[in-house]
Amino acid sequence: MTDRLDLVAPELRAALDYFPKIDFSAGIEPYRGNIFGAERPPLPPELVAVEHEERLIAGHPGDPDVRILIYTPPGAATALRPAILEIHGGGFVIGNADMGDAGNRALALRLGCVVVSVDYRLAPETVWPGALHDCYAALTWLHDNAGALGVDPTRIAIAGGSAGGGHAAALAIHARDQAKKDRGGPAICFQLLDFPMLDDRTCSAADPHPYCGDFGWTPEMNRFGWRSLLGTEPGGPDVSEAMAPARTRDLSHLPPAYIMVGALDLFLEEDLEYARRLAREGVPVELHVIPGAYHGFGLAQSAPQTQQAIRWRMDALARALGVTL
């Protein structure tokens, strides 16, 4: 492990001490709350000023209502605003819409956009496609209520990190397919995928990457997350292409994508391959690989790598949404 730690960027090493020790074999419930064990610091006044609203919206037919959080910049808008549907991470099994509160407020304020965070149902209680249906219900609601929200329906982006990035990629594919069937439906102008969880076959790779997956999110945790979502063993022939974005054979006509991943992240190779395949289909892709970075390195908030990633992400969203920073 010492040799592996040497591969971690020096600026990112100290944050590893703050990562919770997660062992899903002991059950999920201990990790369903605040797994970092500390109270959130008070929000600065400028973020407090961002309007925050909680709503329940109709879910997929036959499914329960979906909880969403809506963030709106302060002050009257002079024109229709862009919007971002944010999908939280947590390995498909933990996390909630509230965990991105400060970040979503900052997005709304910096970009002058409406941010909607979706509290999708978690696995293993809800297996695929439950979470996908919840995310699509939120996207459809955002599109259908754009006028009341003061949102431009042609400038709706989706964003997520880790499992949220996987759900966002799956949502982009699902929305494209639904639009083909219905000759309409909610349009997505951009997909922002931070270290996305895309491929269940990483769990069964015959030749796993020798230097990825030691920190932040391990192969054991990955197998648990995918098994919980799929309701079956990941990597096998009974997993359909609809269940994992990386298995989807047709990646054409998808929204432009931004993909960022650490060079030591377990998802490195699946994310690189996904970016390659998108580009081969003519989908514009912006790809960043952060040297010496592990899964969840953003916990090192003041590290230059984290600050650079924030700037890249904000710039990419601004360009996609037509916002001048």
Is 228 assigned a catalytic role?
no
Dist CA 251 CA 198 (whole Å) = 13
Dist CA 47 CA 268 (whole Å) = 33
> Coil, strand, or helix at residue 192?
strand
- Measured CA to CA in angstroms, residue 61 lies from 66, 116, 122, 176, 252 at distances of 12, 21, 18, 19, 28
Is 250 assigned a catalytic role?
no
Residue with tokens 């949220």: 164
In this prediction, residue 35 carries a pLDDT of 60
The active-site residue out of 119, 199, 214, 265 is 265
pLDDT 10s digits, 200-226: 999 999 899 999 999 999 999 999 999
CA dihedral 70, 88, 98, 69 (to 10 degrees): 20
What is the distance, to the nearest Å, from the Cα of residue 264 to the centroid of all Cα atoms in its chain? 18
Residue with tokens 């809506």: 70
Structure tokens at 268: 């490195």
Query: On the CB side of 170, how many CA atoms lie within 13 Å of its CA?
Result: 31
Per residue, what are the HEC states of 29-92?
HHHCCCCCCCCCCCCCHHHHCCEEEEEEECCCCCCCCEEEEEEECCCCCCCCEEEEEEECCCCC
Dist CA 59 CA 38 (whole Å) = 33
Residue with tokens 């006028």: 147
pLDDT band at 37 (very low <50, low <70, confident <90, very high): low
Q: Could you tell me if 161 and 195 are in contact, meaning their C-beta atoms sit under 8 angstroms apart?
A: yes
Give the CATH number, domain containing residue 204.
3.40.50.1820
In this prediction, residue 184 carries a pLDDT of 74
In this prediction, residue 202 carries a pLDDT of 97
- Is the pLDDT reported for residue 170 higher than 80? yes
In this prediction, residue 38 carries a pLDDT of 57
pLDDT band at 1 (very low <50, low <70, confident <90, very high): very low
pLDDT band at 2 (very low <50, low <70, confident <90, very high): very low
The total domain count for the chain is: 1
pTM as predicted: 0.96
Is 265 assigned a catalytic role?
yes
The active-site residue out of 88, 143, 174, 295 is 295
Structure tokens at 217: 């999110």
- Is the pLDDT reported for residue 136 higher than 50? yes
If you ran DSSP here, which 8-state letter would residue 129 be given? Answer: T
Domain that holds residue 193: 2-321
User: What angle in degrees, to the nearest 10, is found between the helix axes of 304-321 and 101-111?
Assistant: 50
Mean residue pLDDT of the chain comes to 95
- Is the pLDDT reported for residue 36 higher than 60? no
Dist CA 71 CA 86 (whole Å) = 11
If you ran DSSP here, which 8-state letter would residue 190 be given? Answer: E
The active-site residue out of 162, 194, 199, 214 is 162
